[in-house]
Amino acid sequence: MATAFDEMHGAGETIRPAYQELARWLADLPPDALEYRRQEAELLFRRIGITFAVYGDTEAQERLIPFDLVPRILAAKEWALLERGLKQRVKAINLFLRDIYHGRDILRAKLIPDDLIFQNPVFRPEMNGQNVPHDVYVHIAGIDIVRVSPDNFFVLEDNARTPSGVSYMLENREIMMRLFPDLFARHRVAPVERYPDELLATLASVAPHSASVEPTVALLTPGVYNSAYYEHSFLADKLGIELVEGRDLIVKNEEVLMRTTEGLKRVDVIYRRVDDDFLDPLTFRPDSVLGVPGLMSAYMAGNVTLANAVGTGIADDKAIYSYMPDIVRFYLDEEPILKNVPTWRCREPDDLAYVLQHLDRLVVKEVHGSGGYGMLIGPAATRAEIEDFRARLNHDPSGFIAQPTLALSTCPTSTASGLAPRHVDLRPFVLTGRQRMTVVPGGLTRVALQEGSLVVNSSQGGGTKDTWILDDET
């Protein structure tokens, strides 16, 4: 694996322009100042209650996501490139989803194999020919970005179903402003605080035509036992909307109604954090107690907007990801601004043969995996782990893709032995409404806290950082 790009120092010892003021500030800090503030930050997070649960955790307890106090900084011109690329990609994703559930021009053009769509477990035949309000499928997208050099950013993953993490982006900023007002005073940092207002405006803009002038928006959560429940309640509070569970909603005359202390009230837009399978027991899994019986009938009648739309999982499938450059070119007639990570599709015999010969050098991922689970990082794997994956690949090659082990960029991170570089990625959030697309400047930077580790997922021991986009042209 190549040497990682250091976002603070670049290729040499000279501090890169965006980090120069931070470097001066760090040099002036007393030796124990960061550790003292770290403890203070942890106390604040515990008081606020920012936790997440890990499925399968034998301790069955909620945890704090570790928070690193040293911000990750991007210059305005770097962010401008990312913003253009993110908007282009999400626009193409929305066009792709509409096409897949309607005319299927991309399949007739033979750019994507039919079976990759129709045999995909996240493809929803119920959406065939079904129009969605204002043709917006992915209202909230979380696009995972990695950096490998001063000018090269890659998209690692598209999250088009129910992307999470925005609450940490907002809380990280609030904690940083509280703990380090002097550091903020030295920089012009683009604000992220407007995200809740932008999200609410986006959701309201895609209400059905039959909605009232001021549409009613609600957030549908699986409940308190979901790993992201904190985020659900946090966002509902910030947006000023009701946080509801399936049992709080009923469907009458193909309209969704919410139980309130003043009686039943129509709901026009549902920001749902419940997976497709559990949304409606009459249409999907009959054993689901998380959804709303009849919800799909109201949806198909055009009387409620679901954000994100049903069936968007096909766009964040990792096999479909490998076709994203073609998807951008096909629908937009443009070259992709943001590159894909080179990807081998193990369903193709030649690619499978290459992957099997180079397992010790590659990252192998389950097509439907998430959260850092079910993946092999070849250079860090034991011989037994490699042989286990070899057997899994031979048994079900179509269930996997493989990628080179990228040298993810590093940022200075506070560790027990002082500041040290740690690998990071970035999840910006893209909002698509009826008339406009918005990317709040920044996003969730995830950091691999273990030395040498490339796994940034919180479920795998990763932490988070505040992400600063400088307003000036640094």
**Rounded-to-integer distance, Cα 136 and Cα 126, Å:** 17
16, two tokens: 């890169």
Bridge partners (DSSP) of residue 90 are: none
Using the predicted structure, report yes or no on whether residue 58 has a pLDDT greater than 50: no
Q: From the CA atom positions of the chain, what is the Rg in Å?
A: 22
**Domain edges within the chain:** 17-208+304-338+406-469, 342-404
- Coil vs helix vs strand at 324: helix
Q: pLDDT band for position 434 (50/70/90)?
A: very high
Structure tokens at 337: 């601004």
- The DSSP output letter for 421 is E
The 263-266 sheet, strands edge to edge: 249-252, 255-260, 263-266
> CATH topology for 342-404?
Dna Ligase; domain 1 (3.30.1490)
- Count Cβ atoms within 10 A of the Cβ of residue 282 and give its class: 0-12 exposed, 13-18 middle, 19 or more buried: middle
Q: How high is the pLDDT of residue 62?
A: 61
Residues 6 or more apart whose CB falls under 8 angstroms from that of 214 comprise 204
Cβ atoms < 10 Å from Cβ of 410:
21
Burial string for 120-159 (b: 16+ CB within 10 Å, else e) reads bebbbebbeebebbbebbbbbbbbbbbbbeeeebbbbbbb
Would the pTM count as exceeding 0.75? yes
Between 416 and 122, whose confidence is greater? 122
* pLDDT of 288 over the 50 cut: yes
| Helix, strand, coil percentages for the chain (3-state, nearest 5) | 35, 25, 40
Average pLDDT, the chain: 91
The lowest-confidence range among 34-38, 253-257, 291-295 is 34-38
Residue 81, CB-side half-sphere exposure with 13 Å CA sphere: 17
Average pLDDT, integer, range 320-343: 96
Q: How does residue 177 score in pLDDT terms, banded at 50, 70 and 90? A: very high
